[in-house]
Structure 1
Amino acid sequence: MSITLSSSTDAMSPVHTPSRATRLIALGYGIVAYLVFMGTFLYAIGFVSSAVVPKSINTGPASSWSTALLIDLVLMSIFALQHSGMARSGFKTLFARFALAAVERSTFVLLASLSLILLFWQWRPLPAMVWHIEGAVFAGAATVGGVIGWLIVLYSTFLISHFELFGLNQVITLFLGRLAAPIKFKTPGLYRLIRHPIYLGFIIAFWSTPLMSVGQLLFASVTTAYIFVGIWLEERDLVALFGDEYRKYRQRVAMLLPGLF
């Protein structure tokens, strides 16, 4: 995901809030959702790079290629539908009618994490090799490229507002009984060069590997295609939210590659 907006907390603005017990439950819920996300994110690094974790993209129960392909596509579709559906403004409006708006982001983060956990658990490997870089220098470069991709993802979340992006700011603000400031458009750091550094980091992380199996190629290809769909959906929402300010930003700043694309 790549979000170039931020809303900070106005620590001086008290508002009417739910009961303390409700606020405490929301805070606990947000913390749990964040911790589940962080564990899932760290596991994802090992899953994609086939390192450290007990089950990676290249391990798991053996299946026929057709069965494995079907299961893996269904698993990725579950994540894509959950992620895209809950990210839309229409869902957020509907959610706020039935639950505290402050926990909407935490709920999104928690369900996205659970859909990824399901993918890790049920993923079927397709172990045939597409490429295998054997030279130490080139293999090392591919591995380092993957690490750089994950670092770009994490760094870019902090450029905007990491704890807001993953729901903690919202539940802390609610717990303190303060009013969140209006959403502001900002383009710090990498966002001055490209509009979607988080997405770029994921693409680099998924494709930079010295050992590419058919299963990993499937994962990288489908997620990359989904990223472009996600960019289209997200930018439509950002134009609706920020209007000409975002249109001008989109005209002068490349999507993923500075000066090119």
Structure 2
Amino acid sequence: MKKVLMFSYSIIAYIIGFASLLLWIVSVSHLVPEISIDQPQRMAFFPALLKNLSLVALFGLQHSIMARKSFKSFLTKYIPRPIERSTFVLISGLLLILLVNQWEPMGGLVWEVTSGSVLFYVIYVLFFTGWAILFISSFLINHFDLFGLRQTYLELQNKPYTKLKFKVFSFYKHVRHPLYFGGILGLWATPTMTMTHLIFAIALTSYFVIGTLFEERDLKKEFGELYKSYQAKTPMLIPFIKRNKS
């Protein structure tokens, strides 16, 4: 019964985590005005900026702290190990929903591409390409392990959990973190860049870069020289940029 409950918990966490990603994508797409981050301005610029940066800081701190091995060891003293990842996904999903839902519009127009022009459609192709790269990358590294379902499913089947092996293929041949690259591309490829969207993109891109640096440190500890060799010849976030061999 306990294993069934853990698996059910992981499914709920997965649904919330996945739904939060979809909400995030739609909120920056300018395709559904009702849930867009670009609503009419309600607050003065600086209070809105402070609130927005606080929301990003909350989201970023939760990710950075809960992703650390030391915190995972602490957490699993109080919850079963198989649902540790699902708990991370659940809290991350709820905070991402909070971030999008509570994001304060800030007004202002940075650029706007004419609707129906060739450039307008090119930008939207880049937008959807970025998010496609993000989702495809999650499956390349094992989507269900990333979202915590594999852990509880193995427990349900009375099978031991095995760590994922380090593999370099597909997008990972060209960039070390294609999942983050896809998210950054999706954030910045917009035909209408408002100040609201610009701050959103800058803040989350900054988090991606900081989060990547923490993740790289953990990967070097886990995979040692194997990852250092990969790191030396593959760019971190921008694909197809040649590395300096020296």
Pairwise TM-score range, normalised by the shorter structure: over 0.9
Question: Which residue matches 1:209?
Answer: 190
Question: Which residue matches 1:127?
Answer: 107
Query: Does structure 2 retain, via aligned residues, the 8 Å contact 1:43–1:53?
Result: no
Query: Does structure 1 retain, via aligned residues, the 8 Å contact 2:55–2:99?
Result: yes
Distance, in Å, in 2 between the alignment partners of 1:113 and 1:51 is: 22
**1:51 corresponds to which letter in structure 2?**
L
Query: Does structure 2 retain, via aligned residues, the 8 Å contact 1:130–1:213?
Result: yes
Where in structure 2 are there 5+ consecutive unaligned residues? none
1:71-220 residue pairs with structure 2 within 5 A?
71-134=51-114, 136-220=117-201
**2:14 corresponds to which letter in structure 1?**
Y
SS at match of 1:185: coil
Where in structure 1 are there 5+ consecutive unaligned residues? 1-20
Q: Deviations over 1:139-195 (max 9, x none)?
A: 111111111100000011111100110000001111111112244211221111110
**2:20 corresponds to which letter in structure 1?**
T
Q: Deviations over 1:81-110 (max 9, x none)?
A: 111111111111111211111101100011
Distance, in Å, in 1 between the alignment partners of 2:228 and 2:33 is: 42
Distance, in Å, in 2 between the alignment partners of 1:140 and 1:234 is: 34
Cα deviation, residue 53, structure 1: 6.2
Cα deviation, residue 232, structure 1: 0.8
1:246 matches 2:227: yes
Identity %: 37
Distance 1:93 1:234, change over 3 A: same
- Segments ≥4 residues shifted beyond 3 Å: none
1:59 matches 2:39: yes
**1:109 corresponds to which letter in structure 2?**
V
Question: Which residue matches 2:241?
Answer: 259
Q: Deviations over 1:5-42 (max 9, x none)?
A: xxxxxxxxxxxxxxxx1111100000000011121111
Distance, in Å, in 2 between the alignment partners of 1:120 and 1:230 is: 19
SS at match of 1:255: coil
1:27 matches 2:27: no
Query: Does structure 2 retain, via aligned residues, the 8 Å contact 1:148–1:205?
Result: yes
Q: Deviations over 1:37-70 (max 9, x none)?
A: 1211111111011222622110166111112111
Question: Which residue matches 1:14?
Answer: none
How big is the alpha-carbon RMSD for the aligned residues of Structure 1 and Structure 2? 1.4
Query: Does structure 2 retain, via aligned residues, the 8 Å contact 1:65–1:126?
Result: yes
Distance 1:60 1:118, change over 3 A: farther
Question: Which residue matches 1:39?
Answer: 19
Distance, in Å, in 2 between the alignment partners of 1:259 and 1:66 is: 37
Query: Does structure 2 retain, via aligned residues, the 8 Å contact 1:103–1:170?
Result: yes
Distance, in Å, in 2 between the alignment partners of 1:80 and 1:253 is: 25
SS at match of 1:130: strand
SS at match of 2:126: helix
Query: Does structure 1 retain, via aligned residues, the 8 Å contact 2:48–2:105?
Result: yes
The structure whose residues are more often strand, as a share, is 1
Distance, in Å, in 2 between the alignment partners of 1:69 and 1:113 is: 22
Greater shift in the superposed pair: 219-228 or 180-189: 180-189
Task: Say which structure, 1 or 2, has more relative contact order (CA 8 Å, 6+ apart).
Answer: 1
